Amino acid sequence: MVRIVATGAVPHLADRIAEELSSEPADHAVGRFPDGEADVELTQRVRGEDVYLVGSTGPPVDARLVELALLADACRRADAGRVTAVIPYFGYARQDRRSGSGQAVPTRMVADTLQSAGVERVVVVDPHTPSLEATFDVPVESVTAVPQLVDAAQDALPDDTIVVAPDLGGVKLAERVAVALDLPTAVVRKSRLSGTAVETSGLVGDIGDRVPLLVDDMISTGGTLEAATQALQEAGGKAEVHIAAVHGLFAGDALERVGRLPVRQLVVTDSLPIEGSLPVPHRVESLAPRLADAIGRLHRGEGLGELAAHG
Ligand code: R5P
């Protein structure tokens, strides 16, 4: 039997997934000791059940990660049949290698932590790094939200749209959107200066007089979108942008930053809760149907088929 156990990260998404699967989320309590330590307790039996532990590891990233690992450990010790972590937004995926000799490799450390806590399989949605699968020893299933983003965005797109990757790392995701919409692509040359600042140095491709659809895996501070929009306007693009992003972290003053851009439409998924209201025309697409479908297939021992993200 499928059993959903949810961390506090995306309770509405977890409830909707459970509803789609006609399953009741397992009751549990998450508290805090006075010194800040998390204290989790399953208050319902999960013995022998096929547990899907749903929790994004977005802000507050470390607390969400610990909560997820503790709940995995609790499920394992309660004799769950199998524990699959469903992590729609996988934090720390951007730190998958060292760029200096004194640095850690957090993506690997997170994988080790979850595996040692009892996670036997992981489901993610369009992770930042395709190498996530190689970082884990247990199977990693990547679900893609691209068809949903495309469906949601396409009605408002003019005929002269061009799909734009805001950096080289985003080319594959942008190409998948462009193929689905049968549109041309361009890429912004971006370098990251710090966690909040980026700079651009022109484009690869011809933007002409087209309307850009910026496609990114995540919006964190909004710095990438801001810099890309400016680069596109300097290159002669129309003075409006459409944005499609899988994960909306909206860290710091990202909402204000995005609100200052000439955004015609922003499409994002509910892989993370949005704290505050989006100051531009937007659509928030729920991942619940796709994730419920993925969970159902995995429970039945089937592959993800067209739900899977490749490349
Ligand atoms: C970078 O490689 C990612 O794909 C995103 O472009 C980036 O993380 C977005 O962050 P921010 O909104 O802070 O620029």
* Closest ligand 1 atom to Cα of 251: 13
Q: Enter the tokens of residue 212.
A: 């850009």
Q: How far are the Cα atoms of 26, 74, 229 from residue 43, in angstroms, in the given order?
A: 8, 10, 49
Q: How far is the CA of 273 from the centre of ligand 1 (A)?
A: 18
Give the Cα separation of 141 and 298 in Å (integer). 9
Instruction: Give mean pLDDT, residues 176-180.
Output: 97
Mutate which of 132, 219, 221 for ligand 1? The one with the most ligand atoms within 8 Å of its CB, which is 219
Mutate which of 99, 196, 218 for ligand 1? The one with the most ligand atoms within 8 Å of its CB, which is 218
Mean pLDDT of the chain: 96
Sole residue written with tokens 């990202």: 254
Share of the chain above pLDDT 90, in %: 90
pLDDT in tens, 245-294: 999 999 999 999 999 999 999 999 999 999 999 999 999 999 999 999 99
172 part of the active site: no
pLDDT in tens, 129-150: 988 999 999 999 999 999 999 9
Q: Is the pLDDT of residue 311 over 70?
A: no
User: What does the pLDDT read at residue 141?
Assistant: 97
Q: How far is the CA of 156 from the centre of ligand 1 (A)?
A: 24
Q: Is the pLDDT of residue 64 over 90?
A: yes
pTM: 0.96
Q: How far is the CA of 64 from the centre of ligand 1 (A)?
A: 20
Instruction: Give mean pLDDT, residues 151-174.
Output: 97
Q: How confident is the model at residue 24 (pLDDT cuts 50, 70, 90)?
A: confident
Share of the chain above pLDDT 70, in %: 100
Q: Is the pLDDT of residue 25 over 90?
A: no
* Closest ligand 1 atom to Cα of 128: 4
Q: How far is the CA of 224 from the centre of ligand 1 (A)?
A: 6
Query: 61, 107 in Cβ contact below 8 A?
Result: no
Q: How far is the CA of 36 from the centre of ligand 1 (A)?
A: 30
What are the phi and psi torsion angles at 86 (to 5°)?
-100, 105
Catalytic residue among 3, 16, 128, 190: 190
Instruction: Give mean pLDDT, residues 184-211.
Output: 92
* Closest ligand 1 atom to Cα of 221: 13
Q: Is the pLDDT of residue 5 over 90?
A: yes
* Closest ligand 1 atom to Cα of 222: 12
Element (H, E) at 211: strand 211-219
Residue bearing the CA closest to ligand 1, atom 1: 169
User: What does the pLDDT read at residue 28?
Assistant: 86
Q: How far is the CA of 293 from the centre of ligand 1 (A)?
A: 28
User: What does the pLDDT read at residue 195?
Assistant: 87
User: What does the pLDDT read at residue 122?
Assistant: 98
Q: How confident is the model at residue 13 (pLDDT cuts 50, 70, 90)?
A: very high
Q: Is the pLDDT of residue 229 over 60?
A: yes
Q: How far is CA 142 from the centre of its chain?
A: 11
pLDDT in tens, 85-140: 999 999 999 999 998 999 999 999 999 999 999 999 999 999 999 889 999 999 99
Mutate which of 216, 253, 255 for ligand 1? The one with the most ligand atoms within 8 Å of its CB, which is 216
Q: Under DSSP, is residue 250 helix (H, G, I), strand (E, B) or coil?
A: coil
Give the HSE-up count for residue 114: Cα atoms under 13 Å, Cβ half-sphere.
32
Pocket around ligand 1 at a 6 A CB cut-off: 128, 166-167, 169-170, 198, 216-224
Q: Which is more confident, 208 or 82?
A: 82
User: What does the pLDDT read at residue 239?
Assistant: 85
